[in-house]
Amino acid sequence: MIGVRRVCLNSALVITSVLITILFCEVGLRLAGFTNPSEFKQYHRGTAARFYFAADPVLGHDIVPNFSGDVWWLPDYIRTYGAPFPVSSNSLGCRDRPFEPEDDYTLLIGDSYTWGYVGLEETWGATLEQLIDRRVLKCGVPGYGPRQQRQKLANVVAGAGRPRLVIVGYVMNDLLDDYLYPSRTVTDGYLVDQAVLAHPVDGGRHVRSEDTIRARMQRIRNRVQSLAGRMTALLSKYSILYDRLEHAEALRPLTTWIGIAEPPNPLDGIHIFRPVHEFPWLTHAWEQHLENLRHLKSAVEELDAALLVVIFPDPRQLYHSLRPSNGNFEWEYPNQKLTEFFQREQIAFVDLLPEFRRYVSCRGRSMPTTQDDLYWANDDHPNVQGNYVAGLLIGRHVLEQSLVQVPNRSRRLSDLDQLLSTTNRCRTTASIR
């Protein structure tokens, strides 16, 4: 009997100690100034506004035209700026203000990096528009690869007229977007993964049926509505400590195992950095991907427009702490292969990797932690500063190569060089006026 009491007493002491430690950490985080976006948390773990996308028989999914009145729930953005950013679309199905057909405009196509995981006026497309003082139509769609971008180009041009310049925002997971095409669809108003890489070693591709997708969504709803799910939602909503653990990349294996964090996204593009000789399916994937880029080039040439491809770095190419601790990866290979291809095909391009690395090195960071870094701390997309720096670099190239005709070109370039010089001196960049 005494032994049982002792065990119960020791257990109570351990539980009490744990609770006191948790409470101490929670209070400490609040006193240190950490905040949790409590009133903006929602049970649905995705970030996309419901009904913002619609299923498309050719593209898999597309932005619904004339959408308004909703927001994008990106925890990193909410944590930094205190509220989600609004989302909308124009009559062309582009994330932009209304557009009237005109001859002298620049068209942006690409995926989520071009769409921008920031407010519309904070995107690199908006910065570029200020720099060149010409209308920039921003038509990036999350999840699109070159194969879908070519069709999006045709759809937009049919309603907007011929652009003078087409800029393609290229991201490393574009190869997988092409390989799994179409990788996503829309069910019940939600953007969901349809095709997945089932076997990363042999490149096996699995396409989920509509019934399978709905069953998965129902299991998620059931889990959220369960007692454990409701407790987790409350902790995620009100506890800063839980929020920090939920988004701690370094602790992802542990927090995933105990159910705090989500497992890594299977479409995060990591496989593009695998050695081709170890993963032979990548050879075929690259061949088809580059052919899709050739078709995209031909489509732009048929419009008698100029083409510029902008290569955005993967955050793991910049921040070493984000790289997997196990496995063999070739972090320079995709850029080298794309450079050779673009030079051979005479496609104008800008690789942002060297300048982004210079910026990161200037700050001495091994992973993004603040709003002065280039990527969100817990999301793979460029943050407000990353979009701004990208806009400056792209604008400089457009002006240097005279891809658009603008007044006072020399003065604009001089101002741009000053702004870029400021960013590399590890100071906060000034606004463009």
Distance set, CA 88 to CA 93, 387, 425 (Å): 9, 19, 36
Cα dihedral 146→151→152→154 (10° resolution): 130
Residue 42 has a pLDDT of 43
pLDDT for the residue numbered 89: 98
> Considering Cα of 279, then 280, then 281, then 285, what sign does the dihedral take?
positive
Place of tokens 């908006």: 126
| In contact, 419 and 429? CB cutoff 8 Å | yes
Coil, helix or strand at residue 333: helix
Tokens of 382: 């460029």
Could you tell me the CA-to-CA distances from 128 to 120, 389, 398, 403 in Å, in that order?
A: 12, 10, 9, 13
Helices (H), 401-428: 409-424
343 vs 25, 164, 295, 340, 350, CA distance in Å?
54, 22, 16, 5, 11
pLDDT tens-place values along the chain, 433 residues long? 666 677 677 777 767 776 687 677 767 766 665 555 544 444 344 467 899 999 999 999 999 999 998 999 898 999 899 999 999 999 999 999 999 887 789 999 999 999 999 999 999 999 999 999 999 999 999 999 999 999 999 999 999 999 999 999 999 999 999 999 999 999 999 999 999 888 888 889 899 988 888 888 787 667 656 666 566 666 666 676 666 666 555 555 555 545 555 555 544 578 899 999 889 999 999 999 999 999 999 999 999 999 999 999 999 999 998 888 888 999 999 999 999 999 999 999 999 999 999 999 888 888 898 889 999 998 899 999 999 999 999 999 999 999 998 888 888 888 888 888 877 665 443 333 2
The neighbour count for residue 226, using CB atoms within 10 Å, is 11
- Residue 193 has phi, psi (to 5 degrees) of -75, 130
Cα–Cα dist 374/90, whole Å: 28
Paired with 195 in beta bridges are 207
CA gyration radius for the chain?
23
Kindly give the pairing relationship between strand 306-311 and strand 165-170.
parallel
**In this structure, what token pair is assigned to residue 324?**
């997997």
Q: Are 327 and 200 a contacting pair, CB within 8 Å?
A: no
What order do you get walking across the sheet with 135-138 strand by strand? 135-138, 105-110, 165-170, 306-311, 348-351
- Give the pLDDT of residue 400: 95
